[in-house]
Structure 1
Amino acid sequence: MSDGQHTQARERILAAASELMAKAGIEGTSIRDVCTAAGVTPPTVYHYFQDKKGLLDAVVADGFERYLAEKRNRANSDDPVEDLRRGWNGHVEFGLRHPTLYGLMYGGARTTQHPAAAEGERILRHIVSRISQAGLLRMPVDDAVQIIHAATVGATLLLITSAHSPGMDGLSDRTREAVLASVLVAAHAEIEDLSVAARNVLMLLARTREMPLSQGELAIFRELLGRLSDSTSTM
């Protein structure tokens, strides 16, 4: 058998195993089922994967490769926070498209992190580091990465297992924005929040008798705050 035929046989086995597991689950998929679907004999499967655990690990590695290919092809924009939102959405969408595979990759079926998951974490860390460099992160990069990763995986698994339960509609978006609010500085608030803050400062200025600003500086400051406070109606 040529190298190309070896590769084709291995890919057929992986594809068959992934499809069968998606339909019947891990326990419902046997080596014999995989052999029948892939058109190979049991010794061929054992040759490439040794046993069912080896086959499962290969399916997970193949899943991570597909997942990471999507992330690698996603170009960075000028806004790292929006890149983080896109990364979150892509992660959740992948899990919902491949629920059984995602369970193998991140769920309780695994007791240790697959080595390929480290690349996904590096991609996330790069985005979070850009956010930190922009002065928009309120905590160390390592802490933010752990929080974001845990929340993304948790939300995805919950949507997979309880998609039709009350309160699931919009769960990913709500969780994402709550996490962003916890890791980003308040200066990255939406424009509505900025206009409210500007109006609050104007009211504080009106009640403050002594200011460490000259009359000219104070006039300019008030003018700028006034513009910001009206920003929702002009933008």
Structure 2
Amino acid sequence: MSHRHPADKPVRIILADDHPVVLAGIEMTLVQLGFAIVATARNPDELIQHLQRTPCDLVISDYSMPDGQFPDGLALMGYLKRHHHGCPLIVITMLRNTSVLQALLNGGVNGLFDKRSPLRNLKRAILAVIQGQRYVCPGFAALVQAQPLAVAGPEAASVSLSERELEVVRLFVRGMSGRQIAAQLNRSEKTISRQKRTAMDKLGLGHDGGLVEFARVSGLG
């Protein structure tokens, strides 16, 4: 079901970014473009609190806001889409990791906007998403178009990860410890730890929560 907004009312937006200057710049631009900023947040905890008590039509959030209960962007976006799925979400980021961008789309994010783009271009993204469409800025579209948006399987992840790294990720997200994985795969704990870290580095993930979310939307769990 598409989420459509009445054309005669300003779109109510909650903004989130952990850089005050960036946050102020986006807010000023969107107000000038005729949008209503109903709340701003500097970390995931503030964003979630605003969503629980402030009516809005759309959330625009930075991907990476390390301070708070969701230090990894992929885990935060997954939480937002599961618990506030009725509210469209545009993610703004400088990230250019194809696997993570694809995982965000597979996880239900409605729009992807490159922070390098002029902020005024956000208007196009907002209007598209409010009309129930998916928006991917041209730079990101070029990165993800090689992988169909409907694909949410291991083949999407295998582009980035080796088979050994995939094995480790699959077992980790099933709740196994490094020691248990090492025993099952007949490798040393040190090797398992290194392969897990390499996989996370390749995917641009800084914390275990992001790896779990990536596995969930990529069908690796």
TM range (shorter): under 0.3
TM-score (norm 2): 0.25
TM-score (norm 1): 0.24
Identify which of structures 1 and 2 has the higher relative contact order when contacts are C-alpha pairs closer than 8 Å and 6+ apart. 2
The structure that is strand-richer by fraction is 2
